[in-house]
Amino acid sequence: MLSFISMILLALPMALGGQPVYGKTIHNSAFDCTGKADGLAGIGCDGYVECIGQKNVTHFCTLYEYFDRDTTSCIGTTNNHTGCTHFNVCKNMTDGRYPDFEKNCQTYFTCHGKNFFGHQYCPAGLVFDQALEICNWATSVPFPCGTKPAAG
C-alpha cells in the first residue's frame, strides 16, 4: 500500500506538468515548505523532498533505485529497507491499468507515460476486470482473473 508521502511523490511529476526526472533535482515542487525548517520533508519509493530555505527541492532516484530511509540515499532493491520491491514494470507497457496476478487480481496497477503509478486495491470480494479497467465480480470477469466462461 502506498503511503501518503509516496502518493505525493507520485503526483509531483504530474503537478509539475511532466514525467518524473529520475536522478535529477527539481526545485519548487508541489510540496509546500513554507514555514518549515530545513531538512527532509517527505520520503517515498522514488525519492524524497527536502526543504531548503523554505523552498521545495525534490530528488528522484534513478530508474532502478529506491530511496532508503535508513541510509537516506537511493539504492537498489536488493539492499533497501523500505519495502519497495517493484522496478518500473511499466517500462514497456502502454498507458492503462493492469491486474496484479500475484495478488489474484484483487489489486491492479496503473501505468502512465511508461511510469509505474502504484498498486490500487479492489473492494473486498471483487477482482480487476482488465477489459473494462474496473473492479468487478469474479463471475463477470473472464479467466485468469475471474470465473466467467470465455465467449465463443
27 Cβ contact list (under 8 Å, min separation 6): 55, 56, 57, 58
- pLDDT per residue as tens digits for the range 97-115: 999 888 899 988 888 777 7
Give the predicted TM-score (pTM) of the model: 0.46
Comparing 6 with 118, the larger pLDDT belongs to 118
Task: Report domain extents, the chain.
Answer: 4-75, 88-152
- Mention the CATH class of domain 88-152: mainly beta
pLDDT score recorded for residue 132 = 93
